Amino acid sequence: MTPPEKSATAPRGARAPKTGETAEPAKAAGGSKAPGGSKAAGGTEAAGGGSKAAAGSKAAGGPKAAGGTKARGGSKAAGRGKAAEPAAKAAGTAGAGAKAARPESHLGMVRRARKINRELAEVYPYAHPELDFRNPFELLVATVLSAQTTDLRVNQTTPALFAKYPTPEDLAAAVPEEVEELIRPTGFFRAKTKSIMGLATALRDDFGGEVPGRLEDLVKLPGVGRKTAFVVLGNAFGVPGITVDTHFMRLARRWKWTESDDPVKIEAEVAAIFPKSDWTMLSHRVIFHGRRICHARKPACGACPITHLCPAYGEGETDPEKARKLLKYEKGGFPGQRLNPPPDYPGRPAPPLGAEA
């Protein structure tokens, strides 16, 4: 605002300024305050003596400057050896009247991340791998087939595949065209046939027909990367691992656990936040939440149980009624992805291929 003008003449009784000293203003005539509760023009103290500058008086109506920050003139003058405060605090102030948000410390982020994990454990106490399998070989093949499709479609496809080829030796000796026809519903069936027959051959020739329980061995198999390897290690061998799929990547970034979009970097950064013993179940909980509530295109923010911990709240639908309509699987009252879910799963089993849900 425009600074108030000073009186042309000093009021009677005012002390003459000493050499090097700015005259000290007197109070406005009658000592009354200006309309709106702000001090009158003469009532502000001059800069240079350590007092507040003219513009530092309260604006008409009494509120502080927009954003809750002090006006430029309201800071202490340089006569006290301190630099003037900026007119508004750094970007990050939520809006008029709100205080500037402090950047979250790394320790604060770690505490918030671990609290998210604890609360997700209460929301999804039944979290589990959503692929049907009876042994490490079936889990390995199913995980390879799950690329670019849903676990539901894989679960609907693998019963016929494993009925015909129950062991690595059986699958390695199969006719490729017959395998392609069986796994066609999963998409990219020619490339996937090459991968699962290749890994079956490697298991037969290099590992005695058994799935190895070491990361360095698993990633050498055709079609097997770190994500697939950690799924197998964590769920078939009890070896802790973080499964960084598209859901995990999305939520880790939304929750500010990482800023990277590289799966290996995300794995390393998240692993540094949580104890190793939490890694496998953390993966299940985050993926469950991503599939059921925190969707990619339209998160159901209004139905999310951890909004108080989410820095991305508001990216999706915040109306509770509308958000509830976005929920999937057991959260929305629909069948899950497994035809044979674990006993504690609260939802309905998925239907077989070709059956109505």
The mean-pLDDT minimum among 48-52, 202-206, 218-222 falls in 48-52
Q: How do residues 168-187 score in pLDDT, each as one tens digit?
A: 999 999 999 999 999 999 99
CB of 198 closer than 8 Å to CB of 223:
yes
- The span from the CA of 10 to the CA of 26, in Å, is 8
Alpha carbon dihedral 214, 216, 221, 222, in 10-degree steps, equals 140
Location of structure tokens 């911990």: 309
- Could you give the residue numbers annotated as active site? 227, 245
Q: pLDDT digits over 243-288, tens only?
A: 999 999 999 999 999 999 999 999 999 999 999 999 999 999 999 9
Q: What's the DSSP call for residue 335?
A: -
Look at residue 26 and tell me whether its pLDDT is greater than 50: no
Q: Is the pLDDT of residue 44 over 60?
A: no
Render pLDDT for 129-148 as a digit per residue (tens, 0 to 9): 999 999 999 999 999 999 99
Please determine, for residue 200, whether its predicted confidence score (pLDDT) is greater than 90. Answer: yes
What pLDDT is stored for residue 38 in this prediction? Answer: 41
Q: DSSP code of 167? A: S
Q: Contact at 8 Å (CB) between 303 and 293?
A: yes
Question: Which of the pair, 169 or 22, is modelled with greater confidence?
Answer: 169
Quick one: pLDDT at residue 71? 37
pLDDT band at 76; cut points 50, 70, 90? very low
Cα distances (Å, whole numbers) of residue 23 to 41, 57, 59, 97, 310: 15, 18, 23, 34, 54
Q: What is the DSSP letter of 201?
A: H
The model scores a pTM over 0.85 = no
Q: Would you say residue 69 has pLDDT above 80?
A: no
Q: How confident is the model at residue 101 (pLDDT cuts 50, 70, 90)?
A: confident
Beta-bridge partners for 76:
52
- 186 burial via Cβ count (<10 Å: 0-12, 13-18, 19+): buried
**Lookup: tokens for 145:** 């087939």
- 8 A C-beta contact, residue 228 and residue 213: no
Question: Is residue 316 predicted with pLDDT exceeding 80?
Answer: yes
CB 318, CB 302: distance < 8 Å: yes
d(CA 97, CA 350): 51
In the prediction, which pLDDT does 355 show? 79
Is the confidence at residue 6, as pLDDT, over 70? Answer: no
